[in-house]
Structure 1
Amino acid sequence: MSYADNVVRWLRERLDRDPPLAQPRELTLALRVLALWRASVIVDAFVAHHGRVVLQGPFAGMAYVEGATEGALAPRLLGTYEAELHPYLLALAAEGLDRVVDVGSAEGYYAIGMALLARDTQVYAFDTAPKARAACAQMAALNGVADRVVIGETLKPEDLEAYGGPRSLVLMDVEGAEEELLRPDLSPALAHTHIIVEAHEVYRPGVAARLTERFAPTHHVTQLAMGGRTLPLPDWLMASNHLDQLLAVWEWRLGPTPWLVMRPKSLNA
């Protein structure tokens, strides 16, 4: 049964209820299900035009595995994904990094992307999901960087001590566990480490403010909210309807997930 067939069956089951899709919450969920289906159609169209290769942005040219193990695939392939971080990633790569630690790496968008962007960098990718680790290994091989990407499963707060330092970057997207993992009291090396973390306010209200307060003594902290997408879309997508253009760059977020970009003050000393 195809994805479209599953969506139709899901909708039919709910339309057969009495009353059908009666609550606003149910209608919102139905809208999201249909949007996810349409996003998958857009991915198929992208692959037909360009193959499984990132089109633009810092990781342009990166070969991709068949699907994202977490989150939206279309904006990753388009190169619009989390575009707010692009200037910071490019700046850090230009300054020079010895290592990148990607915690919550999924299939490796950042792990493999940073290995390509910073060619002398050792990358450590951690994810608790076996499917994600397998996809990350596959993508490292596809892009010829498997020798510089070490894939692991779990990471404790104190483990970050081994990876910290002024030429290290910790990237973290762990669906709300960032508050438990980013503990400078357990890993003092974090005081001198570049950190970019997604703060999952949708799951942990106030977590961005708490992490900002925690790292303010040692870091310059910049909070970034998601904004509009201004990177150009390919011609075939520009010729499509406006809804498809919006869904192509939609990142599936359920609520606020600001990023904290934390640069160690010790580098200014």
Structure 2
Amino acid sequence: MGFLVYQRKRVMRRKIEAQLQKKGLYGDEVVRGPFKGMKFPTGKYASARFEKIIGTNEHELFPLLERLAVTKHYSEIINVGAAEGFYGVGLAMLFKDARVICYEALEDEREQCRQMLEANGVGDRVEIRGRCSASDLAAHKPAQNTLVWMDIDTGERQVLDPALVPWLKNVDICVELHDCLEAGLSDLIRGRFEKTHRIERFTLSGLDYDKYPELQGLLFDEIHAMVEHDRRGLHDWFFMEPLNRS
């Protein structure tokens, strides 16, 4: 996306957000999805903040998260690429007995994550760390029931490798894949795990706009500015469960 196009989109977003705030349609608390009730620090920027609050951001994963909340009991969750803490905090809220480790390379994002922990009262169970490498994961001794939740924009090639991190063969993994940024990553990750895991695929998809009253009355270019992804193409997620846990 060109710089000027991006700036115009930012200006439009701020204008629409202000209008919705005046109408009481946009605040600081997530209103839909499995993380409903999560609080964002007032007035603080976060990537895709509007989408996360109204429940459009990565809505394709909502059925998975809702299913896991019912069927799984994780004692440890490792969130690699935690950003401002949306998934780290949300997963801590869903799995109230789990210890959560959030890896995030950027200091600004780590500070936002700390604020998110405080706003949602889960700081006693969530640890924030810096950049995560394969060697960092290999040195970790995971709990028996562990979930790895990963989104590191093509870094999955280097980090999500059971040849370097053998314990990955025995844990649940949800990874965002980035073939739109680097061709062949889905096939690479599938090849690494297809003998040890049952692999379920989720794909970025469109929205049913009728479900979101915040978008009613907006023009199509305004809707696009508010909720559509900026990436060059579609991307997938894999949710992978071990065939045999050891």
TM value normalised by structure 1: 0.81
For the structure 1 residues 89 and 241, does the alpha-carbon distance in structure 2 shift closer, same or farther, using more than 3 Å as the test? same
Other structure's SS at 2:206 match: coil
Partner of 2:10: 36
Cα pair distance change 1:251/1:45, threshold 3 Å: farther
1:113 equivalent to 2:90? Answer yes
1:242-265 Cα deviation digits (max 9, x unpaired): 433343321322333221111111
SS across alignment from 2:200: strand
Q: Is the 8 A contact 1:164 1:192 kept in 2?
A: no
Contact 1:98/1:120 (8 A) holds in 2: yes
Distance change in 2, residues 1:45/1:171 (3 Å): farther
Q: Is 1:211 aligned to 2:189, yes or no?
A: yes
1:97 to 74, 82, 99: 74
Structure 2 contact 30–38 (Cα < 8 Å) conserved: yes
Q: Is the 8 A contact 2:180 2:231 kept in 1?
A: no
Indicate whether 1:259 and 2:233 are aligned: no
> 2:173 — aligned with what?
195
Q: Deviations over 1:204-250 (max 9, x none)?
A: 1101111111110111112222111237212x531333433343321
Partner of 1:82: 58
Which structure: greater helix fraction? 1
Distance 1:119 1:179 in 2: 31
Deviations 1:136-178 (A, max 9, x none): 0000000011101100002221332425455211111111111
Counterpart pick for 1:233 among 206, 212, 219:
212
Structure 2 residue corresponding to 1:152, chosen from 124, 129, 132: 129
Partner residue, 1:135: 112
Q: 1:251 and 1:43 mapped to 2: Cα distance?
A: 17
Secondary structure of 2:60's counterpart equals helix
Q: Measure, in 2, the Cα distance between the counterparts of 1:163 and 1:247.
A: 43
What is the Cα-based RMSD across aligned positions, in Å? Answer: 2.2
- Following superposition, the deviation at residue 104 of structure 1 comes to 0.8
Unaligned ranges ≥5, structure 2: none
The structure whose Rg is larger is 1
SS of residue in 2 equivalent to 1:147: coil
Does the 8 A contact of 2:76 with 2:143 survive in 1? no
CA distance in structure 1 between the aligned counterparts of 2:193 and 2:62, rounded to whole angstroms? 22
Task: Say how many residue pairs are matched.
Answer: 239
Q: Show CA shifts across 1:66-102 (max 9, x none).
A: 111xx42221111111111112122222211111111
Conserved? CA contact 2:172–2:240, under 8 Å: yes
**Aligned residue type for 1:110:** Y
- Contact 1:81 1:251 (C-alpha < 8 Å) held by counterparts: no
- Distance change in 2, residues 1:166/1:212 (3 Å): farther
1:204 is matched by which residue type in structure 2?
A: E
Q: Say if 1:101 and 1:163, in contact at 8 Å, map to a contact too.
A: no
Give TM-score scaled by structure 2 length: 0.88
CA contact (8 A) 2:75 2:143 kept: no
Matched residue type, 1:37:
V
- Partner Cα separation in structure 2 for residue 263 and residue 53 of structure 1: 32
Counterpart CA distance in 2 for 1:73 and 1:45 is 16
Equivalent position of 2:29 in the other structure:
53
Is the deviation greater in 158-167 or in 81-90?
A: 158-167
Structure 1 residue 32, shift from structure 2 partner: 4.2
